[in-house]
Amino acid sequence: MGNTYEITAVRTERPPGHHHEHIAFVRLAGSDHAFPRSTIIRDLRSYGGDRYITYGGGLRADVIVAGCPHCGFGDYITTAPDRTTANNLLSLPRF
């Protein structure tokens, strides 16, 4: 099994013709490197790939691949639903 990394910041983009945001790049704890969404998705879809989490409001959230609830975009990363929005990817600092 791969390693688990904490996502600490995000860069977003707007899909063409839409007003909501998708995560385009992420930063991991201890790194200044920007990792593209495609890398995170590849790891998450791989059986032995790395896994990603966030922390916020004192709670951990697992990062997952899902379809966008607004436009149906399939290669979308988000956090598994829980009882807070403080640990959501879009609640993290921007870079």
For the chain, the domain total comes to 1
Following CA atoms 47, 1, 43, 32 in sequence, which dihedral angle do they give, to the nearest 10 degrees?
180
Domain housing 27 = 4-91
Q: What is the reported pTM?
A: 0.92
From first to last of its 95 residues, the chain has per-residue pLDDT tens of 799 999 999 999 998 888 899 999 999 999 999 999 999 999 999 999 999 999 998 999 999 999 888 887 778 999 999 999 999 999 999 99
Distance separating the N- and C-terminal Cα atoms of the chain: 29
